[in-house]
Chains A and B, each alone.
Chain A
């Protein structure tokens, strides 16, 4: 707690959310040929965003489980839409993760993106505002707005700066996401007409007391919300947009997509779909858990046979987020803690993996595993960083991945041993495909001559990779720094669901 700030009543959440958008506005004034200045400004803005979110975490009261630092202003009064922001245990780490990743994403693009630099940075900054805004919004329309606001910049990032089939991938991404969000939009409007408010806390209150929904209404509304979030996660079998989007997106796009955007789905389940319609969620729990488990195994099996590194990691995301979805439907504090930790972990490890693939792609212009091999001797520093990321991804004890996965598996076993066993086999498969990939990528004989002169990591690259490593170790060794932020909220949430 920082007392001065408390008394000053700084609109800290607005600052965290809107700083990037203001930065984007500033960038529009800069001459497009002054690429260096554009890059520096964007980087500074993102660091400013990180600073604000650190202040937010500093102000965050870890003993309270309710909404904090709320800002509630009327916005479109004639339609009952308010500018209502707030943060609690569900969102605090995800906001931190977003603001933490962005500066390093910007650093990573300094060489990779050289065309339309100005537009690229504007799109990324707007994307950041969209992501953080979606995490802090407590008004359903405001949430929907930020949720959609992520869509357009990401669409442009894939479509303009992406690979060969970028137009197809971008369109697929857009249409898939739009399908889900439009149904959610309809459900939001239905809720408004039912309970007379878009405000989430008020809505939760009214649905429980004055305006309860009947079973059929709950069922359809839950499906509408869950469909939107399941596409975003992506939950098997709605995942087919993800490999295309990841492979075609530029590095920065992949990092943001894997690091933050996918979490929007699981966050949405926890924040909106399940608490708003708890009975429907309970009724459909088995179906969702089975889909999640299928996704874990399916994603892992698909990852095993990929030859394109990016595609492999894309499928590993399907597998990893299956764990999170599984945990979202276990209503106990441990599993939910695991879910939130796993969201952060996946953001860190997969984000870092994509960054590292981006680095090697800049040097060799290929992502085919067969084109590599024996890199460990050529680029030792790179290899060390890469292996750390891989180990974090497969959940080695001592690194971040372990804690979350352990908690989730624990909860799954308690709920149903079959889910537990199947999910655990996903962990084994995860180790298998990751290590197989590492072997083909870094070790073995150096067959291709082109790989002999690959440059090792530069200072800039080490600079933006190290924070990820630090966070991985921190989360692995002292997870309680982070879990204690989320637990009060989770206990309240579980209590609320049980009533």
Chain B
């Protein structure tokens, strides 16, 4: 057996995830025995330092490496390419914002445990690895690690019945879906002559086999659970409603983004076998329609955003379909862009909900009444987020939809674009309802909003501004996502 030697590239590539894991461990150790040993600020600061460290490590990857893939690291378990870095960037920045918002949120709910930060750090580390993983085992380990952390986050308010119910549901469903994932991987592993890495699987040339299609489908189902694609979505609204608002924001953005990055890489490399495009088309259509229709009549904002997140998963599958269609010019470069836009807007939306629900977990539509009068800037940020989610111009969400639908038409999937447009029209209605509540209605008499902590204000403001800026000058990010997708195709 060869002695274990690590190249410089290999060390650099795990640094971002490593920084996050180490931070999580330190959090736990510092809290050992007495949760009040370290103050809330100290915990927040530690988490911030960790996330910033990860960001610096990520930046050093950009400085050191080139845009192209540096080849297979760790015997093909992971790689360091622009695609992975982009995914890691989204996740680390999201974790930074979540940490910023967490301090005030946790203290108001009388909770000062370090676990929250630690779990966010652990899951963020696993997500970064997931974005970089290029073989079945590393992908599975990353998914399981992040899932375990997020299960606990979902049930973080363990005294509450809804939280426990949601977390339990999430755990059972998640474990179930992991089973699918693993079975699919086993089939693919067996068929492709015991190769683990995506490139070796692709080289094995087993993708025409009918059994390979079954394996790929099972893997897809595993991911479909994670990102909430209809018909594997039933856990999403319940979990979102019961879980702490901030954890929901983290799940909605980071779990979805990292899963899509990984799924994208898996499908682009292996091709997904026969029928994969038809299956994706069917899932995408059903998801867009049901997600948007179910969101229409939700009174709870968290449930509304849950269904809206499901609907966006439907849109996000279109780039995958486009990429699999084998059109050389259109490579589904809209996926990273759309995910970035989605991340920014969803973070802003959940930031506002965090401020609203600080003490009492208010999340009804009526709780927003008159927000524009009491907190105009927060209302403005939320409005920008909603407008972007609805895909109205001058926002990043619009550019994302433009890219997705344009690619769909270009690849000949006009029906997908038509359904996408029709369902976005439906979505306009439910995205407008919070805007109506905030701007057109008067505050309730009992309305007493606790001042939003600066972390929330900063997050909502930064995400709002980024949404507008990338809506007007998206060139840089569009190019970045285009190149990043090109790098995985080689």
A residues near B (Cβ < 8 Å) are 76-79, 141, 144-145, 148-149, 151-152, 156, 159-160, 166-167, 170-171, 174-175, 178-179, 182-183, 185-186, 189-190, 192-193
Cβ contacts under 8 Å, B409 to chain A:
186, 189-190, 193
CB pair B406 A189 closer than 8 Å: yes
What residue in chain B is nearest A186 (Cβ atoms)? B421
CB pair B417 A186 closer than 8 Å: yes
CB pair A189 B474 closer than 8 Å: no
Q: How far is the CA of A182 from the CA of B420 in the complex (A)?
A: 10
Between A and B, 25 residue pairs with Cβ closer than 8 Å are: A78-B474, A79-B478, A148-B392, A148-B393, A149-B394, A151-B392, A156-B439, A159-B440, A160-B439, A160-B440, A171-B429, A171-B432, A174-B428, A178-B425, A178-B428, A179-B425, A182-B421, A182-B425, A183-B421, A185-B405, A186-B409, A186-B421, A189-B402, A190-B414, A193-B409
- Known: A78-B475, A189-B405, A189-B409. Is A174-B432 also a contact (CB below 8 A)? yes
Cβ contacts under 8 Å, A166 to chain B:
440
Q: How far is the CA of A41 from the CA of B410 in the complex (A)?
A: 47
Contact of A79 among B392, B393, B403, B428 (CB under 8 A): B403
Cβ contacts under 8 Å, B399 to chain A:
76, 79
The B contact surface, by secondary structure, is helix
Cβ contacts under 8 Å, B387 to chain A:
152
In this complex, how many residues of chain B approach chain A with their Cβ under 8 Å: the count is 31
Q: How far is the CA of A76 from the CA of B406 in the complex (A)?
A: 15
Q: How far is the CA of A166 from the CA of B392 in the complex (A)?
A: 22
Q: How far is the CA of A190 from the CA of B406 in the complex (A)?
A: 7
State the Cβ distance, A393 to closest chain B Cβ, in Å: 32
State the Cβ distance, B203 to closest chain A Cβ, in Å: 32
Cβ contacts under 8 Å, B439 to chain A:
156, 159-160
Residue B479 at the chain A interface, CB threshold 8 Å: yes
Residue B113 at the chain A interface, CB threshold 8 Å: no
What residue in chain A is nearest B480 (Cβ atoms)? A78
Q: Which 6 pairs, one residue from A and one from B, show the smallest C-beta to C-beta distance?
A: A78-B478, A193-B410, A145-B393, A189-B406, A148-B393, A159-B440
Chain B residues 52 to 101 lying within 8 A of chain A, measured CB to CB, are none
CB pair B482 A78 closer than 8 Å: yes
CB pair A149 B436 closer than 8 Å: no
Q: Mark B7-20, 1 if CB is under 8 A from A, else 0.
A: 00000000000000
Cβ contacts under 8 Å, A189 to chain B:
402, 405-406, 409, 417
Q: How far is the CA of A160 from the CA of B406 in the complex (A)?
A: 35
Q: How far is the CA of A28 from the CA of B399 in the complex (A)?
A: 26
State the Cβ distance, A221 to closest chain B Cβ, in Å: 11
Residue B424 at the chain A interface, CB threshold 8 Å: yes
CB pair B432 A145 closer than 8 Å: no
The A contact surface, by secondary structure, is helix
CB pair A175 B417 closer than 8 Å: no
Q: Mark B393-436, 1 if CB is under 8 A from A, else 0.
A: 11000010011011001100010011001101100110010001
CB pair A182 B393 closer than 8 Å: no
Cβ contacts under 8 Å, A174 to chain B:
428, 432
What residue in chain B is nearest A178 (Cβ atoms)? B428
Chain B residues 366 to 406 lying within 8 A of chain A, measured CB to CB, are 387, 392-394, 399, 402-403, 405-406
Q: How far is the CA of A441 from the CA of B441 in the complex (A)?
A: 34
5 more A-B residue pairs beyond the given contacts A148-B392, A152-B392, with a C-beta to C-beta distance below 8 A: A79-B402, A79-B474, A149-B393, A159-B436, A186-B405
Q: How far is the CA of A189 from the CA of B421 in the complex (A)?
A: 11
CB pair A193 B482 closer than 8 Å: no
Cβ contacts under 8 Å, B418 to chain A:
186
What residue in chain B is nearest A144 (Cβ atoms)? B393
- Known: A183-B421, A186-B418. Is A167-B406 also a contact (CB below 8 A)? no
Contact of A185 among B394, B421, B474 (CB under 8 A): B421
State the Cβ distance, A122 to closest chain B Cβ, in Å: 11
What residue in chain A is nearest B477 (Cβ atoms)? A78
Cβ contacts under 8 Å, A182 to chain B:
421-422, 424-425
Q: How far is the CA of A189 from the CA of B405 in the complex (A)?
A: 7
CB pair B393 A193 closer than 8 Å: no
CB pair B428 A175 closer than 8 Å: yes
Cβ contacts under 8 Å, B478 to chain A:
76, 78-79
Cβ contacts under 8 Å, B425 to chain A:
175, 178-179, 182
State the Cβ distance, B332 to closest chain A Cβ, in Å: 15
State the Cβ distance, A387 to closest chain B Cβ, in Å: 37
Cβ contacts under 8 Å, B406 to chain A:
79, 189, 192-193
What residue in chain A is nearest B482 (Cβ atoms)? A78
State the Cβ distance, B204 to closest chain A Cβ, in Å: 35
Q: How far is the CA of A145 from the CA of B387 in the complex (A)?
A: 13
Chain B residues 176 to 227 lying within 8 A of chain A, measured CB to CB, are none
Cβ contacts under 8 Å, A156 to chain B:
439
Contact of A175 among B394, B429, B479 (CB under 8 A): B429
CB pair A167 B436 closer than 8 Å: yes
Q: Mark B35-63, 1 if CB is under 8 A from A, else 0.
A: 00000000000000000000000000000
What residue in chain A is nearest B410 (Cβ atoms)? A193
Q: How far is the CA of A175 from the CA of B424 in the complex (A)?
A: 11
Q: How far is the CA of A179 from the CA of B426 in the complex (A)?
A: 9
Q: How far is the CA of A186 from the CA of B478 in the complex (A)?
A: 20
Cβ contacts under 8 Å, A167 to chain B:
436, 440-441
Q: How far is the CA of A175 from the CA of B417 in the complex (A)?
A: 19
Cβ contacts under 8 Å, A149 to chain B:
393-394
Q: How far is the CA of A179 from the CA of B392 in the complex (A)?
A: 12
- Known: A78-B475, A175-B429, A186-B421. Is A141-B402 also a contact (CB below 8 A)? yes
Q: How far is the CA of A95 from the CA of B394 in the complex (A)?
A: 22
Q: Mark B435-447, 1 if CB is under 8 A from A, else 0.
A: 0100111000000
State the Cβ distance, B13 to closest chain A Cβ, in Å: 28
